[in-house]
Amino acid sequence: MAENTTIQVSRQTRDHLAQVAKERGMTLGQLVEQLASEQPTAEQIAERVAATRKILRERMGCTLTDEEFDNGPDVRANIYAMAAEKARGLRERAA
């Protein structure tokens, strides 16, 4: 079993996390471990980006360099912006 340690947070944060853990049927320690496992490090993110670019190059014939990828448009942000614009339009038409 892994060695336990202490993390210092405000009482308010501790109480909030304890309530979330209780509602999910887990201990506070289990909740913190779950939250930590869901947060990749900068190194893990860089590895994922490199792996994704490798797949794009190998399987899809993408010839973009890393610099071109880095300087390209933020596709996800553009999709979110389009979705928000569409939602605003739907709200305005419904009003």
Q: What is the pLDDT of residues 39-93, one digit of tens each?
A: 999 999 999 999 999 998 999 888 888 998 888 888 778 888 888 999 999 988 8
| pTM of full prediction above 0.75 | no
Q: What is the pLDDT of residues 6-42, one digit of tens each?
A: 999 999 999 999 999 999 999 999 999 999 999 999 9
Rounded percentage of the chain residues whose pLDDT exceeds 90 = 59
Q: What is the pLDDT of residues 78-89, one digit of tens each?
A: 888 888 999 999
Q: Give the tokens for residue 70.
A: 């880095």
Could you tell me the residue ranges of all domains in the chain?
8-39, 42-94
H-helix segments, the chain: 11-23, 28-37, 42-60, 66-71, 75-94
Amino acid 23: pLDDT? 98
Q: Is 25 left (phi over 0), alpha (psi -120 to 50) or beta?
A: left
Angstrom CA distances, 77 to 26, 34, 55, 62, 73, stand at 35, 27, 22, 21, 9
